[in-house]
Structure 1
């Protein structure tokens, strides 16, 4: 492996205070092994918390459950690993995945009804499906969408991640919004994304 001292010196020679860090060339060994689009799927690492939103009896209870899910979405990604910068997705890159609802029996896939369209057409209506796409290169904007067909709940979002060198720290600003939509009760919950700072 390369001498880490020379790597640090090389990185520091590229940055100035206030500089956009997306312009800095990083060696691959310090990058996350997955794309930013895949990392956005971590928001649903606790799909049960998201799906439970529609099961709440009152608007107040549903709002509290939105907050529970939102806070749980920031817990999942780091399993005692150091946070790393993910790979930048290329324009038009797409990531799709789905989760089984906990407690639901897993049936033979040949017997399951498929949704047929939507973010993950091969999903069944009782699965939470997710799709993310890089929709702009300059500025780098990602859009993502999740839905549970049977529970009639959707989440759509867009985010533009900006990072800056602040001298002794790094700041990551997430510009964008997310919207949880409950189709049966006609409620929408608008969310923003937190900024992060590291030393």
Structure 2
């Protein structure tokens, strides 16, 4: 990791922007689960580049509220000194001819070695012309 704060900030920004992607029709889009209050999901995996083990990532998510829906996420790689915390509250509504999905909350990335924390706002997405084969608007959320 770089010793310059500006380079570290740019790396966090590049990672954040690279994690956003556009999903188009036919990309195996599925409806999200209807979570239960207190439901948790935990997993871990190894980061490997070529044959080098870069450390283990642990991930935990919990549904902390149902109405409104709020999910909290914690991911960490101790070996890399990177920790991420996210509080996510989706909000979907129709606005004229499109559906808007706002993701309220922040993603906080903490670099433990440098005692730096970056707060990233979550994006708002819009879906226009959501139609079925019969040209009907349907509920996508």
Q: Normalising by structure 2, report the TM-score.
A: 0.80
Matched position secondary structure for 1:67 = helix
1:73 paired with 2:19, answer yes
1: CA distance, partners of 2:73 / 2:86: 5
Aligned to 1:44: none
1: CA distance, partners of 2:19 / 2:85: 15
Q: What are the residue-to-residue correspondences of 1:58-69 with 2, within 5 Å?
A: 58-69=4-15
Aligned to 1:4: none
Could you tell me how far 1:83 is from its partner in structure 2? 4.2
2:101 to 161, 172, 195: 172
Gaps of 5+ in 2: 129-141
Measured at CA, do residues 131 and 61 of structure 1 come closer, stay the same or move farther in structure 2, by a change above 3 Å? Answer: same
RMSD of equivalent CA atoms: 2.3
1:101 paired with 2:30, answer no
2: CA distance, partners of 1:141 / 1:86: 14
Q: How many residues matched? A: 127
Deviations 1:123-165 (A, max 9, x none): xx91112111101111110000110011121000101000002
Matched position secondary structure for 1:185 = coil
Comparing 94-103 with 189-198, greater Cα deviation is found at 94-103
Deviations 1:12-60 (A, max 9, x none): xxxxxxxxxxxxxxxxxxxxxxxxxxxxxxxxxxxxxxxxxxx122111
1:130 to 54, 59, 73: 59
Q: Normalising by structure 1, report the TM-score.
A: 0.58
2: CA distance, partners of 1:68 / 1:155: 15
1: CA distance, partners of 2:59 / 2:109: 13
1:151 paired with 2:80, answer yes
- Give 1 or 2: higher helix fraction: 1
Rg comparison, structure with higher value: 1
Deviations 1:94-121 (A, max 9, x none): 11222321226489xxxxxxxxxxxxxx
In the TM superposition, structure 1's runs of 4+ consecutive aligned residues that sit over 6 Å from their partners are: none
